[in-house]
Amino acid sequence: MADQHESVSLSPPQADHATAAGHSWFPGPPPPMYSCTLTPELVAKAREELQEKPEWRLRDVQALRDMILKEHPNLRTRLDDAFLLRFLRARKFDYDRALQLLLNYHAGRKTWPEVFQDLKPSTVKHVLDLGFLTVLPRPDPNGRYILFLRPGKWKPNDYPFVDNVRALYLTLEKLIQPEETQVNGLVILADYTGVGMSQASNPGPFLAKKIVSILQDGFPIRIKAVNIINEPRIFKGIFAIIKPFLKEKMAERYVLHGSDLRSLHRNIPPSVLPEEYGGTAGRLDMSAWSRLLLDCEEEFVVEFCQPDPLEGVVLPDSMLCEGEQAGGREEDGFRALRSQLYYCY
């Protein structure tokens, strides 16, 4: 059996804890040997919301590990406790659903090579420099970090849209490392100032479907709310592209605020927002998160710039991102939606 599993990685990538210490506002990566870092309050929250029992935690991890080794012996994946816990928590300790999520996580890399090939912070520095995304330094009162997006900063002539997806994925990978995020989840805030026809029509339904598929079913993170501010009239057309691919629960978590800061503050308190959005947390700083990611270059090289983890693994069609077989239907749908976008505009 040892030969059969010799390509499986049992350990996490070795993180530079000295580098992590230089970004004290964001928790550092977990230690090589798992040790629970949750506060008593978060342990209780995980028990209530995620069905996580501390006394059974490592038993559950071992059960998932055994399933992987038995059912997918050729899958090159991390098998350490901290990594597998992400998937168990994201699926409330349902072994089968956690395993499916792990397989989807790796399948995404196989079906979307233009995102995952050579994926490391230095390759998306131009996206970070543009100010397309950041993470606000203060979590909200529920302990959730806020991923802040500014789609209007990107123009199609700047670089391919897929580079934005690469930067987003690297950010999610960093955000999910702390156990607090695994338990509390994540909040998204998107400012649509400056978004026009060129940005709205560029991704198209096929690309939108892939992004949603990864966020909903291919990544071990719980998105608890999506706040949209300063959305133009054209956003109705943008949301029409996205909504068919959203699960009902996720669609209900979208909140549109327009230019009403009071509405935004009812969902995200001013104490964690920058001054530009009526907050009291200082001026918006897009550079802190960029520096944090760029300082983690080696960590991401180990994680992503390796051989295909699914090489030699045969996946059923149902596991792969959909769309290839439906190319004609996707194009027809895109033409109809583009007409709607022009109407809204």
- Among positive and negative, which fits the CA dihedral 290, 294, 296, 300? positive
Q: What is the pLDDT of residues 22-44, one digit of tens each?
A: 567 788 776 778 999 999 999 99
pLDDT of residue 312: 53
For 187, phi then psi, to 5°, come to -115, 140
CATH architecture of 32-111: Orthogonal Bundle (1.10)
CA neighbor of 164 nearest in space, from 185, 134, 188, 189: 134
CATH topology of domain 115-301: Phosphatidylinositol Transfer Protein Sec14p (3.40.525)
pLDDT of residue 239: 82
For 53, phi then psi, to 5°, come to -105, 115
Which helix (H) or strand (E) element contains residue 254?
A: strand 254-256
Q: What is the pTM of this model?
A: 0.84
d(CA 175, CA 182) in angstroms, rounded, equals: 9
pLDDT of residue 308: 57
User: What residue ranges of the chain have pLDDT lower than 50?
Assistant: 1-9, 17-21, 316-345
pLDDT of residue 329: 42
CA neighbor of 252 nearest in space, from 265, 243, 240: 243
pLDDT of residue 337: 43
pLDDT of residue 192: 93
Q: Are 229 and 259 in contact (CB under 8 A)?
A: yes
pLDDT of residue 314: 53
Spell out the domain ranges in the chain.
32-111, 115-301
pLDDT of residue 287: 93
pLDDT of residue 304: 78
Q: Are 241 and 337 in contact (CB under 8 A)?
A: yes
Task: Find residue 135's DSSP bridge partners.
Answer: 147
Residues with Cβ < 8 Å from 288, sequence gap 6 or more? Answer: 23, 25, 134, 137
For 98, phi then psi, to 5°, come to -65, -40
For 186, phi then psi, to 5°, come to -135, 150
pLDDT of residue 146: 98
